[in-house]
Chains A and B, each alone.
Chain A
């Protein structure tokens, strides 16, 4: 579009509204690495003191940052792997295979996709207790994977839908079974979808807070989100925001890296919409 309108009023409004975000982000970086004059925002020295949690124990009853990080990584990774694996098969079945009550399954997929799962958390809490999975990392992984699944299947089905039918027909004519056709001919075509779901559910697992807090509040299964939240909520008036920001930066590092690498892809997936 050519400029038949000056851009500066729009830019001004954008800047005003973006200001809180910009300030928060800037000081997230600044405060994590600096000391400052009390009562001002002005930094007066570089320090790594706020990152002391990496090499000393904060004596707050937690499991130590590295154990917590490992938990978070495992949580995100296994959530991501299970969601991807199950979506990969279920998406194909719903997209391509004929079986009884297929329409019904497709319908329920949409219903589940829209259904707010957090409303079920009380029941899930009780189910995990009955299954003996309460307060375990496995329990939270299973639940998180389950809640991510409708979205994963939905996205995967979309990717399968774009694979030309003729490729599968050709495979069948060439003498390959439906399974071989899926494994050797179709899967390579939906790799972008697989990547999208892996990344997306990894990020989603990495950031998840409510589920670990409710379903695995013990120290053994603590993850970075609950670690940081505990600090934040127990801080009271002595809140050490420099420490919080250092922990937060450490916590968000993988997210930021993934964001920088896959920015455009991620925007597309989030366009599909998962959280309000």
Chain B
């Protein structure tokens, strides 16, 4: 089911949380709403499922306008961050609740619950109470309950935030598997870029109630439209060099060093502020565009090592290298930037 949000506006009292937002989610795709807390991603999700009313704009499921349709009639399944399982019901009753409300027959309910329980691998847990389940199992029950009535749309609100790291990895692929198996249109709200990148077909990254960029994870990582997007994606995060345009090059702040600007980038007027974004994997000992600095921080991550290098002007670049390079804290180094991978941003943060 295609979801179209047209000119969506949402206010709480005097504060406008979302203004004039439009977004189209394709049928059968899994889309991530990614952004820092307070950016309006959960508000958007609640507007899609009908818990929030829209103050302006339209919402269409397929060709049907559902702006004024109540939550109960929208046929949207939601998985909440804390799963919101009904504590007094066992797993079977939890999953069966949406069907009972619809007054389906006993036999129908039994069949559907069994089917969905098998899909999410909780067939053995049907008689347990939610309190007797692990976090991952609760998550599966919540998924089953959201999916059992065959909703047109599945919404996931920070579904992995309450799980520990190992389970999170497991559930990431589980949710994706179930979504692909059912072919349902899904929207995932998350503040974790790894989740968004690993699970979704497309990412809509939000900031201050606006969608800043909408594209596939790979495209968004490699070709961010703003420094905000570049900074949000990638772990360890991208490092920025501040400076300004000077004589066809990029003059680093508080220093005499001028870096050449890669071809294909429009250089702003002389003296205008600029930023270079350099991802850790593109600042390496054997790249061409050398910069001198001193290692100010070393973090061993097991397979890799992360270095912070403080340049002469005080700016810090990050570098991630395979284990065994043997650099130490305080070492003077001269490493290079992969010139064609530099992301340049203008004074307003827009990509140049």
Contacts and interface: CB of A to CB of B under 8 A. Distances in A.
A174 B93 CA distance: 13
A274 interface: no
Interface residues of B, number: 24
B78 interface: yes
A174 B145 contact: yes
A167 B76 CA distance: 15
B221 interface: no
A9 to B, nearest CB: 47
Given A169-B51, A185-B86, A189-B87, A174 B101 contact: yes
A167 B71 contact: no
Given A166-B84, A189-B87, A173 B77 contact: yes
B72 A167 contact: no
A178 to B, nearest CB: 9
A166 B45 CA distance: 13
B349 to A, nearest CB: 35
Contacts of B49: 169, 173
A184 B97 CA distance: 10
Interface residues of A, number: 17
Contact of B101 (A167, A176, A189): A176
Contact of B71 (A172, A180, A189): A172
A175 B84 contact: no
Contacts of A174: 97-98, 101, 145, 149
Contacts of B80: 166, 169-170
Interface string A48-71: 000000000000000000000000
A176 B84 CA distance: 15
A164 interface: yes
A164 B146 CA distance: 18
A175 B146 CA distance: 11
Contacts of A45: none
Given A172-B72, A174-B97, A188 B88 contact: yes
A169 B87 CA distance: 14
A189 B88 contact: yes
Interface string A179-196: 010001100110000000
Given A164-B82, A166-B80, 7 more contacts: A164-B84, A166-B82, A166-B83, A167-B86, A172-B50, A184-B97, A188-B86
27 contacts: A164-B84, A166-B81, A166-B83, A166-B84, A167-B86, A169-B78, A169-B84, A170-B78, A170-B84, A170-B86, A172-B51, A172-B71, A172-B72, A173-B49, A173-B51, A173-B72, A173-B76, A173-B77, A174-B145, A175-B72, A175-B149, A176-B101, A177-B72, A180-B101, A188-B86, A188-B87, A189-B87
Interface of A: 164, 166-167, 169-177, 180, 184-185, 188-189
